[in-house]
Amino acid sequence: MFKKVLIANRGEIAVRLVRALQDLGIASVAVHAKDDAQALHAQLADTAVALQGTGPSAYLDIPALLAVAKAQGCDAVHPGYGFLSERADFAQACADAGLVFIGPTSEQLALFGDKARARDLAQQCDVPVMPGSAGAVTLAEAQAFFAEQAKDGAGVMIKAIGGGGGRGMRAVLRAEDLPEAHARCMSEAKAAFGVEGVYVERLMKQARHIEIQVLGDGRAVASLGERECTLQRRFQKLVEIAPSPSLPEALRARITQAALRMAQQVG
């Protein structure tokens, strides 16, 4: 059992982690940007340490986070979600510093944190994907892909290669909107995840957003069921419903097995 855990995040997820650690009798160390000093997670944690920066960028400073963890005598780091939670270099840096990264391995994060590589894995596991680029694209490459999709009257989605949560994402229906959307997505991705690359895929209109939750221990993997996150604003989820009320049982089974195949493939 861990004795002290650094929570490398803020807001609601950090509050949940503080409370979970309290239930387990584990000491919690919170970090906060200068402008988050009065945040609830900082008030609830056993120890709160100020970071030098302000805003989201403060929580992306890997050396600063590791320095706090070592100074406070932590033996593990929990990244929460967003920020550095999908960064393989952060997981590896924790391991190099003798800290347990509570989450996937750096190798697994390097794979799933790169949406282009994750798409490739999906195809290897016989999981269907939308037509898309093989990796990060320049504006010229995005325009060429858009022109190809426009032949069928379809638009494109621009998505951040790293991270998630709707950051660095834009739907583009007109060619003239592509340059600005591409630039904005790269800027958002850089600010939110520290990785500015974006890729493109065919836009599916009126799609439903279904997620399969999986849990593994390196040997076995299990599904925790699905949740529907279709109701969104600016690609930010507003309501999550579990189980999905719109998913037919046969399709639920197919989607679940697809997710498990991918998870099993990487241990």
What are the b/e assignments for 156-182, b being 16+ CB within 10 Å? Answer: bbbbbbbbbbbbbbbebeeeeebeebb
- Single-letter amino acid, residue 211: E
Distances in Å between the alpha carbon of 72 and those of 78, 145, 228? 14, 50, 39
Give me the residue spans of the domains in the chain.
4-111, 115-202, 210-265
CA of residue 225 relative to chain centroid, distance: 19
C-alpha angle 151-153-157 in degrees, rounded to nearest 5: 100
Active site residues: 237
Closest CA to 103 of 197, 242, 9: 9
Q: Which two tokens stand for residue 215?
A: 């849990």
pTM for this entry: 0.76
Q: What does the pLDDT read at residue 193? A: 80
**pLDDT, tens digit (0-9, with 9 covering 90-100), for 43-95:** 999 999 999 999 999 999 999 999 999 999 999 999 998 899 988 999 999 99
Assigned architecture for domain 4-111: 3-Layer(aba) Sandwich (3.40)
Distances in Å between the alpha carbon of 40 and those of 45, 62, 186? 9, 23, 31
Using CA atoms, how far apart are residues 65 and 191, in angstroms rounded to an integer? Answer: 17
- Single-letter amino acid, residue 217: D
Q: What does the pLDDT read at residue 238? A: 93
Can you name the residues that pair with 198 across neighbouring β-strands?
A: 160
Which long-range contacts (C-beta less than 8 Å, at least 24 apart) are formed by 204-212? 204/130, 205/155, 208/244, 208/246, 208/247, 209/237, 210/244, 210/247, 210/255, 212/255, 212/256, 212/258, 212/259, 212/260
**pLDDT, tens digit (0-9, with 9 covering 90-100), for 212-244:** 999 998 899 999 999 999 999 988 889 999 999
pLDDT band for position 192 (50/70/90)?
confident
Using CA atoms, how far apart are residues 224 and 150, in angstroms rounded to an integer? Answer: 38
**pLDDT, tens digit (0-9, with 9 covering 90-100), for 20-56:** 999 999 999 999 999 999 999 999 999 999 999 999 9
Q: Which fold has domain 115-202?
A: Dna Ligase; domain 1 (3.30.1490)
Q: Which two tokens stand for residue 175?
A: 């060619």
What is the average pLDDT score of the chain? Answer: 94
Is-contact 4 74, C-beta < 8 A?
A: yes
